[in-house]
Structure formats: C-alpha cells, structure tokens
C-alpha cells in the first residue's frame, strides 16, 4: 500500500558542506547544513541525529531514505552512500539515489535550460543541462560531463538563454559574465526571494546549500511513481575516474609502476 506522506531522511555528501534533511511528503521538517572544513566521516551521523531531533522524528519512524548519488566529491559520495546503504539494510527501508546535479537544478527553480555546475577540482566542473518543470520534475537535456572552463564555454556558450546554478557556477561567476558580455547577452543575478521564471539572457541563480531537501523532493517523485530500490541498487555516479585511477592508467600507459 502506498504511503501518503512518507517520512524521508535525505543525505547529500557530494559537496564540501553537505546537508541532511527530514521531510514528511513535500513538507520539509528540518535541514542541517554541514561545515566545509569538516569531513563527512566525522559529521554525517551527528547531523542525522540533529535533524531527527529538530524534526521530533525517531529513526524508527523514517519510511524512505534518499541520497545524492553524484557526481561530486569521491570520498564524500562513498561516505553518504555507505551510510544510507547501512541504514537501509538495518531498518529494511526502501532507498533512492538522486543525481546531485538534478538537485542543484531543482534548487534554482523552474527553467527550460538550467546548467547545473558543481566543482570537480583543478578549476574544472561537473556540468549538465536540465529542464525544471513547474511541478519540480527535472528532465535531462544532456548527460553529465566533467569539463574545463573552456569546454564549458564551447558546450553551452552558443545558447542565448541559460539559468546557471550551483556552487560551480558561483565559482566561475566572473568568467560566465565575461562570456555573456563578449556575446552581447544580458547577464543578471536572481534575487533569492524572486525565483520567478524568466528566460531572458543568462541568469545566475542564488546559491542554495540545502541540497538534501531537494534530493528528498526528487526522491518523493520517484517514490510516488513506485520507483524505489534496496541497498544493492544504490550506485555512485562519478562521471570521471578518481585521481588514483587516473594515476594508475597513466602508469600502465607509460609502463611504470
């Protein structure tokens, strides 16, 4: 039997700060945003306890687990996924993995063309174009990619209407504004209290660190459609190889070990 308003515990460790939320259906009960200087391995369980306490929800009352599946920090993703898998197995709960960039786009509001960006290290970004509908459904326009700033410009620069969003967009804000100026495109920043739909020019959406609540919102849509999984179904979406894998591949190619 379908649960009308499931209690959802959501975890996002794809970003440096990370976040955890508790929701009841579409109602967000509590959100905890992490500190960028802290390791998720040291703070995640503490933050889970905090949001449960603030929500006045017991762990035994949780009915659905949701987690950011990536792309994002390799270490962070592993910690988040391992924690949710362990909770799902112990509590025998359904769980859903949500792409991180989908949550970034949802946080930026309704848009035909949102470019969701997260830092990927070395000045590069994880990027994807998505459409966000009025009911918060997120639709993929292209596939997630790991791009340098130049590749980012080549991929999306020809478009005249874009909503840039996410931590990666704010890190590259000046470059994005410069690209717009070179193309004669209007560039503007959206105020946090004015997220109405506007498709004119290039826009920079306000930064939202509460990605866990958007992970929960997207997981609820999957849940209502009957698309849930078990711990074994959770998979990380890395987009690019880890640094260790890249080094291993280079060593193999050069014959060094």
Domain extent for 77: 7-101+210-246
From CA 115, how far away is CA 127, in angstroms rounded? 7
Per-residue pLDDT at 94: 97
pLDDT (tens digit per residue) in 137-176: 999 999 999 999 999 999 999 999 999 999 999 999 999 9
242 — pLDDT class (breaks 50, 70, 90): low
- 85 in the same domain as 17: yes
Best CA proximity match to 50, nearest among 192, 207, 212:
212
Residues 158 and 195 in one domain: yes
Give the Cα separation of 69 and 203 in Å (integer). 27
Say which CATH number the domain at 217 has.
3.30.420.40
Report the pLDDT value the prediction gives residue 249, as an integer from 0 to 100: 42
Q: Give yes or no: residues 62 and 86 share one domain.
A: yes
Q: pTM for this structure?
A: 0.91
Note the pLDDT of residue 193. Answer: 59
Q: Which residues of 1-36 are buried (b: 16+ CB within 10 A; e: fewer)?
A: eeeeebbbbbbbbbbbbbbbbbbbbeebbbbbbbee
pLDDT score at 240: 76
Rounded mean pLDDT, 215-239 = 96
Identify whether 253 is part of a domain. Answer: no
Number of independent structural domains in the chain: 2
**Is residue 34 included in any domain, yes or no?**
yes
Length, in residues, of the chain: 257
Would 85 be classed as within a structural domain? yes
- pLDDT value, residue 251: 46
| Number of neighbouring beta carbons within 10 Å of residue 133 | 12
- Average pLDDT along the chain: 91
User: Is the confidence at residue 246, as pLDDT, over 60?
Assistant: no
pLDDT of residue 115: 98
Is pLDDT of 192 > 80?
no
In a domain, 128, yes or no: yes
User: What pLDDT, on the 0 to 100 scale, is given for residue 125?
Assistant: 98
């Amino acid at each position: 039997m379908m649960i009308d308003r499931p209690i959802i515990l959501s975890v996002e460790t794809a970003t440096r700060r990370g976040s955890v939320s508790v929701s009841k259906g579409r109602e967000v009960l509590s959100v905890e945003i992490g500190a960028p200087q802290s390791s998720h391995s040291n703070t995640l369980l503490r933050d889970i306890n905090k949001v449960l306490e603030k929500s006045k929800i017991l762990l035994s009352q949780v009915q659905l687990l949701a987690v950011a599946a990536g792309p994002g920090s390799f270490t962070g993703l592993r910690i988040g996924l391992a924690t949710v898998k362990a909770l799902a197995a112990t509590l025998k709960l359904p769980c859903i993995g949500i792409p991180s960039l989908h949550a970034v786009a949802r946080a930026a509001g309704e848009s035909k063309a949102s470019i969701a960006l997260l830092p990927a290290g070395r000045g590069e970004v994880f990027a994807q174009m998505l459409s966000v509908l009025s009911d918060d459904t997120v639709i993929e326009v292209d596939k997630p990619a790991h791009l340098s700033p130049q590749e980012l410009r080549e991929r999306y620069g020809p478009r005249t209407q874009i909503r840039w969003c996410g931590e990666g967009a704010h890190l590259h804000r000046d470059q994005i504004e410069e690209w717009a100026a070179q193309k004669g495109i209007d560039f503007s920043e959206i105020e946090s209290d004015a997220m109405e739909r506007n498709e004119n020019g290039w826009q920079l959406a306000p930064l939202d660190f509460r990605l866990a609540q958007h992970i929960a919102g997207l997981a609820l849509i999957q849940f209502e459609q009957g698309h849930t999984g078990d711990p074994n179904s959770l998979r990380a979406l890395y987009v690019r190889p880890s640094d260790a894998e890249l080094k291993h591949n280079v060593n193999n190619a050069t014959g060094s070990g």
